[in-house]
Structure 1
Amino acid sequence: MKSYFKITFLLIVILSTKTFAQTFEAKIDSLIQTEFNEKHGPGGVFLIAKDGKPIYQKAFGKANVELDVDLTSESVFQIGSMTKQFTAVAVLMLEEQGKLNVNDSIAKYIADYPAGDKITIHHLLTHTSGIKDFTKMKTLRDIAQKEMTPKMMVDFFKNEPVDFSPGEKFDYNNSGYVVLGYIIELVSGETYEDFIKKHIFEKAGMSQSYYATDRQVISKRAYGYHKKEHGFVNKTVISFSVPFSSGSLMSSVGDMLKWQNALNKNLLLNAESTKKAFSKYKLNNGEEFTYGYGWHIKELNGTPSREHGGSVFGFKSMGVYIPSEDIYVVGFSNCDCHSPTQITRDIADLALKKYKK
């Protein structure tokens, strides 16, 4: 009789656990489908990981609308400004090698940069440099489809009037990260593309990550779309040499988990450098702001989080990491009509409630 009750109890526990898991999964599905609900249009891919392992991976919609090809959890997306994480880590890797210091002025590397003696690498990393963001310049359309070298890109905006003195305020800025990419090339003697591939992608085992290209055949590529009144259209074509190190990388959700795990295991940076990336910093007046090096340092309902999104023609991306619980959530969209930003944060909140100790 005892064994009967024991077996019955175990069955109840197993079924309850299974039901709870199904309920959690159903909640996530429902949340995503409020935005990603067009079966025959572009969609998105989402991943939730706990303790470095996926607990949820699903794809919604089409990778290619014309060919009626479904997205999968292995689809490769342009990640836009999530690229900045990789640029920041590359800078810190070079600092560890003694090839630069984040407190160096950029004049040390780009001698003719206007007022470059007052702008530091730290200012560029934290969006506090005050230099003009090239994405806000009307003349951007003149170069959007041209093949630009990093020097040409820096020359494009360097003589624009500054918005404020270095360190005076935080103002999200793509130009700063383009300058960082140029400095990475000058200091390392490698192209930005080669540096990221060799020292980050290969080291972390990120075999589905690339410097973006429309020419190379990329396995499982997701194609980008815009939505117009009459329906979906293919994304606007730009030269990836323009966003460069501020927004020109491609990846899959699985590879982004490998990236997060590599950071957690100090595979790419030592603990001291990693702490620099994830610290909050202060303006000249002592006011603290919520950006480290390549990540927004925020909170999710009172729990510290690290976040960053991205947006580039035809694509949007978002990643949220909760260090205390080792929860990572990443979401990609292949239409800039669908934003994964709030959904990814909401999923992270649900996962936090489920797993918080």
Structure 2
Amino acid sequence: MIIKKLVATFILFSFFTATMSGQVHNKKYEKKIDSLILTEFGNKNEPGGVFMVTRKGKPVYRKAFGKANLELDVNMNPDNIFQIGSMTKQFTAVAVLMLEQQGKLSVNDPLSKYIEDYPGGDKITLHHLLTHTSGIKDFTKMKSLPSIAQKEMKPEAMVDFFKNEPVDFAPGEKFDYNNSGYVVLGYIIERVSGDTYENFIQKNIFDKAGMNHSYYASDRKIIPERAYGYHKKAQGFVNKTIISFSVPFSSGSLMSTVDDLLKWQQALNQNILLNTIETQKAFQKYTLNSGEEFTYGYGWHLKDINGNTDREHGGSIFGFKSMGVYLPKEDIYVIGLSNCDCHSPTEITRSIAKVTLDEFK
């Protein structure tokens, strides 16, 4: 009887010690992450951001900083919805791969198959558009962009806006990050699916992944938990510049939350949206005409952190910045969303990933 009591006491003590140790461990980790974020998001009276770290699909850190709305003096909370800018490209790339999986297109198809009159479209493939190796003119670098920035543009009109511009290089010759390519892909998604890009993403990705707080951006719709976007000027903060979301379109017009982006990552991991063959196409490196390898798949930069392979992408659109880093081997996902384009989460998010790698190795 005495031995049984001693064993029970020992087990209870061990459990208590392990629990306390874990709590101390978590507090130390939390303070490390806090200190990284506060270097950029330290003023609680400014626009801020939300950061989340997950390991094996479970949050190990989830916190909000600063204000979601300056005029109403509303604090940020982890459920706030942000414009994610170019992280949209992940969704566009997966939408293309979903259509390929359905046998409706091939990434090796020439652009001319879908837009017959596109200059040089017989030499540019969907693969070139997906990997930023097409050489077509990036519309964000065109001086005439302000003339359409606030106009409601149909996808075909957006393509017409830049398609006759001189190309920067021959298809496959080099990697040069390009928003126009992803606008073209959005238009092709519409033509092939017979639906709008917005509806296609909603029905085939957001709904299937359970992303109930993700949207095609709008400044007119009532979107609960929306974080408002800001710029920082010499005289202080101002509301973000108004643009028509039909301009960035499929290259940068989606909105989401850190929790929904985790659902997105899990849907990819669990092959809810794509089979393993199509998924692999998104996450492999490709080569230029010269045979040189470059570090971009379909919608993701493919880099490494401390020697660990990662998949990452950021976004920047008026009033907002975003960054997501995923380490597949360790199943660590770090997301940072900001509601001022004056505060970038990019390097902070990568630094958090480094700390998390060290913490859980």
Bin of the TM-score, shorter chain as denominator length: over 0.9
Question: Is 1:15 equivalent to 2:20 in the alignment?
Answer: yes
Q: CA deviation at 1:165?
A: 0.1
Q: CA deviation at 1:12?
A: 2.9
Structure 2: gaps (5+ residues): 1-5
Aligned partners of 2:158, 2:14: CA distance in 1, in Å?
A: 67
Question: Is 1:231 equivalent to 2:236 in the alignment?
Answer: yes
**Residue identity matched to 1:81:** S
Question: Is 1:67 equivalent to 2:72 in the alignment?
Answer: yes
Q: CA deviation at 1:15?
A: 1.6
Question: Is 1:306 equivalent to 2:311 in the alignment?
Answer: yes
**Residue identity matched to 1:134:** F
Aligned partners of 2:153, 2:7: CA distance in 1, in Å?
A: 76
Name the SS of the counterpart of 1:324 in structure 2.
coil
2:329 corresponding residue in structure 1? 324
Which structure 2 residues correspond to residues 75-224 of structure 1 after superposition, within 5 A? Answer: 75-224=80-229
**Residue identity matched to 2:52:** L
Q: CA deviation at 1:4?
A: 5.2
Aligned partners of 2:259, 2:298: CA distance in 1, in Å?
A: 23
Question: Number of aligned pairs?
Answer: 356
**Residue identity matched to 1:156:** F
Aligned partners of 2:112, 2:335: CA distance in 1, in Å?
A: 37
Q: CA deviation at 1:9?
A: 4.2
Query: Alignment RMSD, CA only?
Result: 1.0
**Residue identity matched to 2:236:** G
Deviation per CA, 1:178-230, whole angstroms, max 9, x where unpaired?
Answer: 00000000000000000000000000000000000001000100000001111
Q: CA deviation at 1:19?
A: 0.5
Percent of counterpart pairs with the same letter?
A: 70
2:246 corresponding residue in structure 1? 241
Aligned partners of 2:180, 2:233: CA distance in 1, in Å?
A: 29
User: Is 176-185 or 223-232 further displaced after alignment?
Assistant: 223-232
**Residue identity matched to 2:205:** I
Aligned partners of 1:82, 1:3: CA distance in 2, in Å?
A: 52
Deviation per CA, 1:122-148, whole angstroms, max 9, x where unpaired?
Answer: 000000000000000000000000000
Structure 1: gaps (5+ residues): none
1:260 corresponding residue in structure 2? 265
**Residue identity matched to 1:337:** C
Name the SS of the counterpart of 2:180 in structure 1.
helix
Aligned partners of 2:296, 2:104: CA distance in 1, in Å?
A: 24
Aligned partners of 2:81, 2:283: CA distance in 1, in Å?
A: 27
1:272 corresponding residue in structure 2? 277
1:297 corresponding residue in structure 2? 302
